[in-house]
Structure 1
Amino acid sequence: MKIYPAIDLKDGACVRLRKGEMDDATVFNDDPAAQARSFAAAGFDRLHVVDLNGAFAGRPVNAGAVEAILAATKVPVQLGGGIRDLDTAAAWLDRGIDRVVLGTMAVKRPDLVRQACARWPGRIALGIDARGGKVAVEGWAQTGELPAEELARRFEGAGAAAIIFTDIDRDGILAGVNVAATAALARAVSIPVIASGGVAGVEDIAALKAEVAAGANIDGVIVGRALYDGRVDPAAALDIAGRAA
């Protein structure tokens, strides 16, 4: 199982939000490139980066910070936030992003997402963010009535590399990852699922790994605030994730 340290970008700095609220942000590092180097030095071999301003604006906003991260380390970067068309996805992939995350597009422009999956095999992830089990879009500002599992099923066979499933109600508050919902989604579709939101300690990573051992198709977990404030030790997290299921 993979560990994805999170670098969430707001106004050029690394922050963590609480439940996706932009006005409830904690700045952890004003140098995203330095943060990327720190995660790489700790042994992490991939990064999850989100352009928070871009998610609300519907276009890339923190491009400079993202490019600085790409220049600072050779670790593959998974990027989401503000990617709403194929031209933007292509531009990021051409600049060296390993995988782009399409969230709002999956709801509002599903045919384009399927085109992206076909055009860039293995380089498109679906971002499914849920509040109360229902999908939220536009930087989590809009929540509808579409169940997360139903959205995931719509992309079966499309060729998506992964689904990043975020429980918004737990994101950034160290409430513990929603293991049950993540495992249920991972059993409902064949697309690998990456858990996100609420990781508070290595116990959450161990609980997800137990679901992997039980047959759930969970590919990895994104860890944010718990890494920044020291609740999760990188070596311990990587050890648990790397053990045989």
Structure 2
Amino acid sequence: MILLPAIDLYEGKAVRLYKGDYEKMTICSDAPAEKAAKLAAAGAEWIHLVDLEGARDGTTPNLPIILSILERTRLKVEVGGGIRSMETISRYLAAGVSRVILGTRAVEEPAFLRQAVSRYGAQIAVGADARNGRLATHGWKQDSTVEITDYIRELRALGVRTVIATDITRDGAMQGANLTLYRTLSEIRGIDIIASGGVSSLADLRALRELGLCGAILGKAMYLGAVDLREAIALTKEEEPSRSGQDML
């Protein structure tokens, strides 16, 4: 399982939200690129970046910070937040981003998602952000009636290979990952699931690894010191359970 330490960007700073609430924001670092370099020094191979202003407004105001992280580290970078055009996708990938995460527009316009996947393949991931099992869009501000499980099956049919599945109610709450949700999602074969939201202990990571998920995102617990990044990386690199013999649903 891949571990992706997270940096959420807002006004050029690394921040954390509580349950996606922009009014409940904590500044973690005034120098996100330096923070990313420290994560790389601790053994991280990937980093998960979210442009929170972009997610809310559909813009890319933190692109200079992301470019700085790419220049200063050898981290594989996945980026989400405000990526709603082919031009923005192209700009990020041309800059060296390994994978972009589509959110709101992927939900609203399947044709756009199909075009992106056709052109860029595995470099396109989709964020499935759920509150009480249903999708939320526009920076988690708008709820939909779409069930996350149904949506992920639709994504698989469109050729999407990676989904970042976030339980908004657990994000930043230090209440543990929603293992019931991720157990259900792990049963959807043919698509890689990365768990996001609520990971607060090594036990959470161990449980997610045992479910056979592709990856997990580590945020607030790392910043609070509840989870040591080096220990977490070592745990996720342990041999994963076999998933052979299980049929695609």
Q: TM-score, normalised by structure 2?
A: 0.94
- Residue in 1 that maps onto 2:177: 177
Identity %, equivalent residues: 40
- Residue in 1 that maps onto 2:236: 241
How far apart, CA to CA, are the structure 1 residues paired with 2:153 and 2:216? Answer: 21
The farther-off stretch of 49-58 and 184-193 is 184-193
- Residue in 2 that maps onto 1:153: 153
Equivalent residues of 1:197, 1:222 under 8 A apart: yes
How far apart, CA to CA, are the structure 1 residues paired with 2:189 and 2:153? Answer: 6
Question: Structure 1 regions of 5+ residues with no counterpart?
Answer: 213-217
- Residue in 2 that maps onto 1:103: 103
Letter in 2 for 1:223: L
Q: Does 1:115 align with 2:80?
A: no
Q: Does 1:227 align with 2:227?
A: no
Question: CA-atom RMSD, angstroms?
Answer: 1.0
How far apart, CA to CA, are the structure 2 residues paired with 1:112 and 1:129? Answer: 19
How far apart, CA to CA, are the structure 1 residues paired with 2:147 and 2:29? Answer: 35
How far apart, CA to CA, are the structure 2 residues paired with 1:104 and 1:3? Answer: 24
How far apart, CA to CA, are the structure 2 residues paired with 1:208 and 1:21? Answer: 25
Paired residues for 1:1-245 under 5 Å: 1-212=1-212, 218-245=213-240
Equivalent residues of 1:153, 1:189 under 8 A apart: no
Equivalent residues of 1:162, 1:194 under 8 A apart: yes
| Structure 1 residue 157: Cα displacement | 3.7
How far apart, CA to CA, are the structure 1 residues paired with 2:211 and 2:103? Answer: 25
The farther-off stretch of 40-49 and 225-234 is 225-234
The farther-off stretch of 76-85 and 61-70 is 61-70
How far apart, CA to CA, are the structure 2 residues paired with 1:6 and 1:156? Answer: 25
CA deviation map 1:52-99 (0-9, x unaligned): 011001111211111111111111100000001111111111111110
SS at match of 1:185: helix
Equivalent residues of 2:205, 2:216 under 8 A apart: yes
| Structure 1 residue 191: Cα displacement | 0.7
| Structure 1 residue 189: Cα displacement | 4.0
How far apart, CA to CA, are the structure 1 residues paired with 2:61 and 2:36? Answer: 19
Equivalent residues of 1:194, 1:222 under 8 A apart: yes
- Residue in 2 that maps onto 1:215: none
Matched residues, number: 240
How far apart, CA to CA, are the structure 1 residues paired with 2:183 and 2:160? Answer: 18
How far apart, CA to CA, are the structure 2 residues paired with 1:157 and 1:136? Answer: 21
How far apart, CA to CA, are the structure 2 residues paired with 1:198 and 1:51? Answer: 19
How far apart, CA to CA, are the structure 1 residues paired with 2:154 and 2:122? Answer: 18
Equivalent residues of 1:114, 1:155 under 8 A apart: no
Letter in 2 for 1:230: G
Letter in 1 for 2:230: A
How far apart, CA to CA, are the structure 1 residues paired with 2:157 and 2:23? Answer: 38
| Structure 1 residue 163: Cα displacement | 0.4
Letter in 2 for 1:190: G
Letter in 2 for 1:241: T
Letter in 2 for 1:52: L
